[in-house]
Structure 1
């Protein structure tokens, strides 16, 4: 893409890249695709062994030993602190195929979201290509119309000069004036169509309002 004062000169492939990056609907579909992939991974984790760990602490005071008559006692030192660490491993052996069925369902949902995004992506690309080719055609029409207007203006001035010299009828002058008005009107209409087409393309690409896009003025083979 290159930029000048009035517009951005862009290629079709560049617009495809912009759509992949900016289009709001594609962003939503990409989010759905990632969530579907996460769901597959979560279901697969249920087949893996799980580890449960527990850690406990205890505090014990000194013990007391007494004789049978409770008349004599002896203190017995006991370690003050104690701890216990337990690790348990478990794995699902049989769940009636529920986990595997859940995995397959998640995979189908993932495949659907992948397909949905790709189809939408291709539809957007076809739409962009249509607008791009329309802009290319309209811009070429502008060039031709502007050249015709210059030529018609030149001829009109010549007709007016001959009319003043008496060598040209007024009807001939009027004919060129009407032709010039027709060309001006057509130019105005084509420019309006360019504005409308450009705005639709800008909306799809999520570009700032007022951005002007100008297709590269050459034939390019693009892969959709």
Structure 2
């Protein structure tokens, strides 16, 4: 009777709230908000997109400066050899002395005043590309946050599971000691002891695998967040007590259609194709520019004999340029660009449809997670009632130890499934944000 009472008390102790997962390394408590902040700040996956935004900003400035005038200056010095005057029939010739030192200086300015919309189109295209780069960064941030969240919640789940196995192992060890004592007294078969020894070995192997999984998840998460080696991330347990919104499916669809970076990128791709059409059409129009030049050359070699003096002259005028070959080349290019625009529109429409499908599925899973939570809560209630009944019967020698262990295992499993069900609600909620493209706004 005394042994039964001790075993019952041990089982009750094992079912108390779990202690923190022990680690020798420094623990780093981390809330979900801190997780997202660290992911945004330290993730190397975001750096190319950040650089891409800066690059696109410079491209806009470069396109705007294309409207400024072109200014070219040239300066050269030369040595001129003596010339030779030759008869038309090449019969005879004579030497023509020339000034030997020559100089040339030119300053030319060209200001385009009409380019058929090419300059404005280039600026508009660069701005669209800059916005696309910002949406790429938002989409990448959405992915990095969801990746870090997956590591974070998986770590949470695995720690819960490890605590369960730690308790099961200790329970099995206590049971084995009791069974060996009974076997030594001849009131229990050795085969039953061997069976529990095999169970203990399997539990210890599974615990080792869980610890390795925890180490891998912790390392992946710490690397993603840029934390020092050896840091042990401690998830925020209060996360499970948060009240999450239960907006209807229509609300999530509207968010995705208006805020998804991926859908915005596709809309921008269509807008860029239309701008490209305008640029192609601009080649069918003439270019008009103001031109001005200043020249300072010497000596004057167009006279015979040459005049050893400098000649300075300047001019201002209006230039018109038209590419005649565009009349038969541009129509094909324009048709190709129109087809590209249509293709981008079709891709965007398909993406919106696919987004609607995944939002519908994600919302269904989110609501299902609440149903699962209610089921797990009922399971825990029943498992606790069952354990109380079996423990009372065992204390009065009306149940076997195996019945008590089965009841304890059922209660522990139900409790960890309840905790994991709460974690799954959090996961499904933020997955909806990820699918809608709004996780990067949280």
Same fold flag (TM > 0.5): yes
* Structure 1 residue 190 corresponds to structure 2 residue 228: no
RMSD: 2.5
If each structure's helix is expressed as a fraction of its own residues, which one has the higher value? 2
Report the Cα offset of residue 15 of structure 1: 1.5
**Count, aligned residues:** 181
After TM superposition, give the deviation of residue 203 of structure 1 in Å. Answer: 2.4
C-alpha distance in 1 between matches for 2:115 and 2:143: 43
Query: Which residues of 2 match residues 13-162 of structure 1 at below 5 A?
Result: 13-44=33-64, 93-162=113-182
Q: What TM-score, normalized by structure 1, do the two folds share?
A: 0.71
Residues 25 and 232, structure 2, Cα contact 8 Å, conserved in 1: no
Distance 1:211 1:6, change over 3 A: closer
Select between 35-44 and 121-130 the one with higher mean Cα deviation: 35-44
Is the partner of 1:214 in helix, strand or coil?
strand
Alignment gaps of 5+ in structure 1: 50-90
* Distance in 2 separating the partners of 1:25 and 1:127: 11
SS in 2 for 1:172: helix
Shift of 1:11: 2.1
CA contact (8 A) 2:183 2:189 kept: yes
Equivalent residue number for residue 29 of structure 2: 9
**Aligned equivalents of 2:170, 2:114: Cα separation in 1:** 85
- Deviation of residue 95 (structure 1)? 4.0
TM-score (norm 2): 0.38
Q: 18-27 or 33-42: which moved more?
A: 33-42
Please report how far the alpha carbon of residue 209 of structure 1 lies from its aligned counterpart in structure 2 after TM superposition.
2.6
Deviations 1:73-132 (A, max 9, x none): xxxxxxxxxxxxxxxxxx864343232112111112102211211111111122112111
CA distance in 2, matches of 1:23, 1:211: 16
Distance 1:22 1:104 in 2: 33
Pairwise CA distance, 1:6: 3.6
How far apart are residue 48 of structure 1 and its match? 8.2
1:158-177 equivalences under 5 Å are: 158-177=178-197
- Higher relative CO (Cα under 8 Å, sequence separation at least 6) belongs to 1
Q: Describe the SS at the equivalent of 1:195.
A: helix
TM-superposed CA distance for 1:161, in Å, is: 1.0
3-state DSSP of counterpart to 2:205: helix
1:79 counterpart residue number: none
Instruction: Please list every run of 5 or more consecutive structure 2 residues that lacks an aligned counterpart in the other structure.
Output: 1-23, 70-110, 243-425, 434-438
